[in-house]
Amino acid sequence: MKKNTIILVGLLETATLGVLVLILLRSWYPDYYYSLFEVAPKFYVFVALLLMLGPILGRFVYKADSVAYLNDLSVIYLIKFCVVFLALHYAYSHRPVLTVFSVDRFVVVQAHQIPTDHIPVGLAEMVLAGEKPPLVAARKFSETDLSNLLGVMGGEPDIEYRPNRYERIEYQREKMIERLCSNAPGADEERPLESRSCDPLKVPLIYSFDQSATAVFDLDAIEILKVFATNPWQ
């Protein structure tokens, strides 16, 4: 096997694998989630590793003795398999599965943050069938029972990470109007809550424990229209 052939084969393998992984990433992080979680820079690092473990390292360890060279290649492919497996496992376990309305903000829930077997069947079907993580709402704790609040302060999951508190987001439309829409520009406060409408709202979107963005939310369509990587509290 010639050196130029080794480089060409390695490049073709890297390109094919890169395209397949990119298709998976686009399906796991659709629409604005792709940029929100900065998937592109991570993908570039992944491709760079594939190039190092493919044509570059394959060319570097080249030997005229085909048996010895195949032994070296087997080690390289084992390392490459581990890199691909770990990268895909991380991307899949950190993919967004739900966007939860919690009190006055949206929280993106990732796969590793809630046990999949705890998600209600109907909601699990929405996750599997939808092109994007579905929007749901979380019911607040009872104000008279402080045990849940004390538990959260002690490290237990908050309402957005408790599947037993999820419900369809449409059920909280009136509460969303009260908390978000009443003071918004263009809010028609003279109308009853059930028929009130307002312009698309800018709502905080928490997508990591220390990272946030601003979501433009259409209350009438119950849909996030856009997401901007700006501080929602400024």
List pLDDT tens digits, range 66-113: 677 777 778 888 888 999 999 999 999 999 999 999 888 899 999 888
Give the confidence band of 182 by pLDDT, cuts at 50, 70, 90.
Answer: low
The gap from C-alpha 28 to its chain's centroid, in whole angstroms, comes to: 7
When pLDDT is averaged across residues 6-16 and rounded to a whole number, the result is 83
How far is residue 149's CA from residue 114's CA, in Å, rounded to a whole number? 19
When pLDDT is averaged across residues 159-170 and rounded to a whole number, the result is 85
Of the candidates 18, 16, 9, 21, which has an alpha carbon nearest to the alpha carbon of residue 55? 9
When pLDDT is averaged across residues 39-45 and rounded to a whole number, the result is 95
Percent over 70 (pLDDT), the chain = 83
How far is residue 62's CA from residue 73's CA, in Å, rounded to a whole number? 9
pLDDT for the residue 198: 67
Cβ atoms of 216 and 226 within 8 Å: the answer is yes
For the cut 60, the answer to whether the pLDDT of residue 183 exceeds it is: no
pLDDT for the residue 193: 46
